[in-house]
Structure 1
Amino acid sequence: MRGYFRRLVAAYVDRVGIGTGLRWKLSAAIALVGALVAVALSLVVHNAARVSMLDNARDLADERVLIAQRNYELSGRLNFPNTRIDDPELPPELREKAEAGRRATYVVDRPGGSPDVWAAVPLKNGHVMSLHSGFTDRSSDILKDLDQALVIGSIAVVLGGSALGVLIGGHLSRRLRKAAAAAGRVAKGETDVRVRDAIGGVVRDETDDLASAVDAMADALRQRLEAERRVTADIAHELRTPVTGLLTAAELLPPGRPTELVLDRARAMRTLVEDVLEVARLDSASERAELQDILLGEFVARRVTTKNPDVTVRVVHESEVTTDPRRLERVLFNLLANAARHGRAPVEVTVEGRVVRVRDHGSGFPEGLLAEGPSRFRTGSADRAGRGHGLGLTIAAGQARVLGARLTFRNVRPPGAPEDAPAEGAVAVLWLPEHAPTNTGSYPVLAQ
């Protein structure tokens, strides 16, 4: 039941969009605790003050009834205000004690009004003398003033606690946000970022331990990735020489079908080695973009027409961009090769401002690629697997990062079709930046 209620509350919060930041959580918690403590203390103080005032009123009534008893026994008549003999309104509990020979006091609470204070004493003639008085106006005023002061104090405590919670929560929230931003920069490949230095601060708390742990984890992952990249690059580099020799030797073989097969496999192996080396260079985050100003639509149309005349190119809006033409061409050709290898004709390229779209009419990208992005040596689902090594889109994404661009993938479905409906094509979209790529981890070199 508790879990169901928690899920219900979480769903409601997500639906209405209520902010649940650390600052507001701490503020709400401190305000709630402050309110509970203030209410509890107010009730305790109010009851203690009321009991004390009632005790004083009962003591005063007891003293007055004693004075009235002495005066009655000396003079034989009642000469004290608010005293009566055998008062019919005397509370039964008090009457029983007086008839038993005991002097006593009694308080009767009246709904919505001040309490009544009774005092009774037995007389020598067997009658009961009683004194009836109410809670004095002065005592009522004091109690009301006390209640007002308690209410004001409680409100002040709640507001002060909320402000304190906002300050404390804001401090922690800022440190955590700085840590999250620094961790995000580390995730983007900035190797010189330290989360512990980013959060700053003089006071050491748990956020510093968290930042140190994140830095240690990032260092360990960086070392493992660098070792993996270095091993991959070394293997590919060592394979380049024998593969080149193999290709040269295969070209010397006599013409024939066996020779064509050997040449085809040797060329494929050389292409694979070159792709692996390129991936290793991109992973090292040391690539530099050589920037030039080009007309994007004209550049794409000329390159695509030269590469594959069957591809349809449409320039919706021309735009001048500052980018690296060689890397842009590499991204464009890899996207076209992926569309030709895994999709179906017709393949269409559209240029609109700084956005380049490459669409095929095949079965669409696999769900794993849409969810996680390109991954080396993984070609996707069965109908798009078995051909290639899964490096084309990985290289395209890496080169796009060097350009400061963003490469996205999606599938085309009929309007209103559910998510599980078969796709009618795959679309890769390259978003070129508005400014030169100076924040991508590379150091652009302007062409002279």
Structure 2
Amino acid sequence: MPAGRRIIRRLLVRRASIRTGLRWKLSAAIALVGALVAIVLSLVVHNAARVSMLDNARDLADERVQIAQRNYELSGRPNFPDIKIDDPALPSALRAKVEAGRRATYVTEQPGGGPDIWAAVPLKDGHVLSLHTGFTDRSTDILTDLDQALLIGSIAVVLGGSALGVLIGGQLSRRLRKAASAANQVAKGEPDVRVREAIGGVVRDETDDLARAVDAMADTLQKRLEAERRVTADIAHELRTPVTGLLTAAELLPPGRPTELVLDRAKAMRTLVEDVLEVARLDGASERAELQDIMLGEFVARRVAAKDAEIGVRVVHESEVTTDPRRLERVLFNLLANAARHGRPPIEVTVEGRVIRVRDHGPGFPEDLLAEGPSRFRTGSKDRAGVGHGLGLTIAAGQARVLGARLTFRNVRPPGAADHIPAEGAVAVLWLPEHAPTNTGSFPMLTD
């Protein structure tokens, strides 16, 4: 039963997340409005035509009963076969008007049939002369033809409105999709992309206003980020000299535990300053890779052995790659340092073709890192990354971008385990490009 409930819940969530295109929404709205307008107009026209025909029929009946009245007064008989004297079927409402000395007409509705038209007039001798006729076949045919024409017209209005909605909605949807695509390119680090130029067109509408607003926002954010990067680089550069002097002065102190503590903190500060400077250079997108041809498996095995001989390296498939060895080593060492600091042994490195995997058996990466990628000065959860400044993975991602590579992060869980089950380890995967990087301005994709 729990498994069945989970399946039903997934289906409901998937059903609730179905997306509907703008063109179809607009088409449905126009079709609905067109159908309502067509129905209302059809009812109004039908009723107006029916009332007009009934008025004409009543006028005709009134004229005939007046002619019959004159004939009766001259010859003593009405001279019309459908004229009756004191008809017992005369409606009571019409009889009351005639008895009051008034000439009148009256319409009755027959169940399942057309209307009946009555006309009556009082005679001088006290009798009542009346005429009873039905709705003519010609009038019925005219109403039927009118209803058919109104139905065909309503269908044409709905179909035409739907087609117009699809046309207008499709054009608007294409402009919005182009704007969204351009905005995504800007979000991925391509500041030269302009949303307004991407959507094109000469018509000014709300889409153009949105595109211009996005472009203005992107320009403002770019300027602010550039200003922050310059400030960060300037501060780190200015700190470099006094930190170096502090480290030199600490090395001159007499040996002892206090001196070791001072040296340790001074070295940590120097490392932090150097990392901040490196992040600032990577943010500036001015770094370029110095390419060489290397055998990836052999390169990783030698570098890892020099770093820590206890870390195992498994080369599944050797491959020759064109990359920057210095930057690749920087990425690899930062991933190993992160695994050693925040994970648990054993740490495993696997090389398969152009892919390098670094796995530990710790509590896994924080959820915000998996969702948003590395962020500077964010140490993550208290289970992992509880110490440090969050610059190691940020630098690794930046160097991977310069290499044209893709760096992804994921946690290892037992097959079919729920999200609340603790992870059995963390895996960082570096995907080197098949060809030498030519465009280093794109950010790495942070997806599983």
Q: For the Cα contact (< 8 Å) 2:68–2:79, is it kept in 1?
A: yes
Match of 2:3 in 1: none
Within 2, Cα distance between the matches of 1:17 and 1:26?
A: 19
Within 2, Cα distance between the matches of 1:270 and 1:231?
A: 18
SS of the residue corresponding to residue 28 of structure 1 reads helix
Match of 1:189 in 2: 189
Match of 1:126 in 2: 126
SS of the residue corresponding to residue 265 of structure 2 reads helix
Match of 1:4 in 2: none
Match of 1:409 in 2: 409
Within 1, Cα distance between the matches of 2:215 and 2:269?
A: 39
Q: CA deviation at 1:401?
A: 2.2
Match of 1:304 in 2: 304
Within 1, Cα distance between the matches of 2:336 and 2:196?
A: 44
Q: CA deviation at 1:113?
A: 2.4
- 2:163 corresponds to 1:163: yes
CA pair 31-413 structure 1, distance change in 2 beyond 3 A: same
Q: For the Cα contact (< 8 Å) 2:359–2:428, is it kept in 1?
A: yes
- 2:209 corresponds to 1:209: yes
Match of 2:150 in 1: 150
Q: CA deviation at 1:96?
A: 1.8
Q: Which moved more, 1:70-79 or 1:113-122?
A: 70-79
CA pair 288-78 structure 1, distance change in 2 beyond 3 A: same
CA pair 231-257 structure 1, distance change in 2 beyond 3 A: same
Within 2, Cα distance between the matches of 1:436 and 1:105?
A: 98
CA pair 73-297 structure 1, distance change in 2 beyond 3 A: farther
- 2:33 corresponds to 1:27: no
Q: CA deviation at 1:51?
A: 0.5
CA pair 154-359 structure 1, distance change in 2 beyond 3 A: same
SS of the residue corresponding to residue 50 of structure 2 reads helix
Q: For the Cα contact (< 8 Å) 2:83–2:129, is it kept in 1?
A: yes
Q: Which amino acid aligns with 2:185?
A: R
Within 2, Cα distance between the matches of 1:302 and 1:115?
A: 103
Q: Which amino acid aligns with 1:421?
A: I
Q: For the Cα contact (< 8 Å) 2:190–2:442, is it kept in 1?
A: no
Q: CA deviation at 1:432?
A: 3.4
Within 1, Cα distance between the matches of 2:13 and 2:163?
A: 23
Q: CA deviation at 1:12?
A: 7.1
CA pair 206-66 structure 1, distance change in 2 beyond 3 A: same
Q: What pairs up with 1:1-40 in 2 under 5 angstroms? A: 15=15, 18-40=18-40
SS of the residue corresponding to residue 19 of structure 1 reads coil
Q: For the Cα contact (< 8 Å) 1:286–1:442, is it kept in 2?
A: no
Match of 1:446 in 2: none
Unaligned runs of 5+ in 2: 1-10, 444-448
Match of 1:53 in 2: 53
Within 2, Cα distance between the matches of 1:39 and 1:319?
A: 72
Within 1, Cα distance between the matches of 2:116 and 2:322?
A: 92
Q: Which moved more, 1:142-151 or 1:88-97?
A: 88-97
Q: Which moved more, 1:335-344 or 1:102-111?
A: 102-111
Q: 1:127-156 CA distances to partner (integer Å, 9 max, x unpaired)?
A: 222212111111111111111111111122
Q: What pairs up with 1:43-82 in 2 under 5 angstroms? A: 43-82=43-82
- 2:253 corresponds to 1:235: no
Q: For the Cα contact (< 8 Å) 2:401–2:442, is it kept in 1?
A: no
Q: CA deviation at 1:260?
A: 4.3
Q: CA deviation at 1:265?
A: 3.3
Match of 2:8 in 1: none
Within 2, Cα distance between the matches of 1:120 and 1:355?
A: 102
CA pair 123-392 structure 1, distance change in 2 beyond 3 A: same
Unaligned runs of 5+ in 1: 1-10, 444-448
Q: For the Cα contact (< 8 Å) 1:189–1:285, is it kept in 2?
A: no
- 2:384 corresponds to 1:384: yes
CA pair 12-412 structure 1, distance change in 2 beyond 3 A: closer
Q: Which amino acid aligns with 1:376?
A: R
Q: How many residues align?
A: 433
- 2:344 corresponds to 1:362: no
CA pair 13-166 structure 1, distance change in 2 beyond 3 A: farther
Within 1, Cα distance between the matches of 2:139 and 2:438?
A: 77
Q: For the Cα contact (< 8 Å) 1:288–1:442, is it kept in 2?
A: no
> How high is the TM-score relative to the length of structure 2?
0.88
Q: 1:250-274 CA distances to partner (integer Å, 9 max, x unpaired)?
A: 5566665555444433332322222
SS of the residue corresponding to residue 290 of structure 1 reads coil
Within 2, Cα distance between the matches of 1:442 and 1:378?
A: 23
Within 2, Cα distance between the matches of 1:298 and 1:112?
A: 95
RMSD value over aligned CA atoms?
2.6
SS of the residue corresponding to residue 87 of structure 2 reads coil
> How high is the TM-score relative to the length of structure 1?
0.88
